[in-house]
Amino acid sequence: MGTIYDVLKEEHDQISDLLRQALQDGSKVSFFKIKLKADPHMMGEEKFFYPVLEEVEELRELISEAYKEHNDAKTLIFEMEGMEERDEEWASKLSQLKQSIDHHIEEEESKVFEKAVNFLSQEKAEELAKQYIEFKRSYMNRIETGEPVV
C-alpha cells in the first residue's frame, strides 16, 4: 500500500507534465486539463493532509504558506477560466500559473513531505492515501455525472 506522499508525488508529476504541455501549446484545452487535476488535488490536500500536519507545531508555518500558495493558484485558475486564449494576458497568466504551481510542488516535496515523515507514522501515511484516493474517486465521478463537487 502506498503512502500519501507517493500518491501526491505521482499527481505532482502529472501536473508538471500538463503545465509543460500547456505552455507549449498555449491552449485553453490544456489549461482545463491542469484545472481538472489541480482542483481535486488541492481540495484533497486541504481536506485530509494539511489538517493533520497543522497539528504539528513545527509544521504550522509551512502549512500556512502552503494554503497561501494554493490560494494564489486558485485565483489564477479562476481568472483564466474567464479568459480566452487570444486574450492579451493569456500567455503571461499561463506562465504565472506554471511558476506558481511549480514553486508550490517544489516546496511541498522538499519541505512539507520531508518534515511530515518525521511526525506521521507509516500507518497514518497509508491511511491518508486511502482517504485521499477515495475522495478523488468520488470527485471524478461527480465531475462525470455533472453533480456539484463541493
Residues binding Fe ion (CB under 5 A): 8, 45, 108
Give CA 110 to chain center in angstroms. Answer: 15
Nearer to Fe ion, 22 or 73 (CB): 73
Nearer to Fe ion, 92 or 110 (CB): 110
Nearer to Fe ion, 28 or 104 (CB): 104
CB of residue 51 to Fe ion, shortest distance in Å: 13
Q: Rounded distance, CA 148 to CA 48, Å?
A: 20
What are the Cα distances from residue 115, in Å, to 28, 56, 105? Answer: 36, 10, 15
CB of residue 66 to Fe ion, shortest distance in Å: 5
CB of residue 59 to Fe ion, shortest distance in Å: 13
Work out the burial of residue 150: count CB atoms within 10 Å of its CB; fewer than 13 is exposed, 13-18 middle, 19 or more buried.
exposed
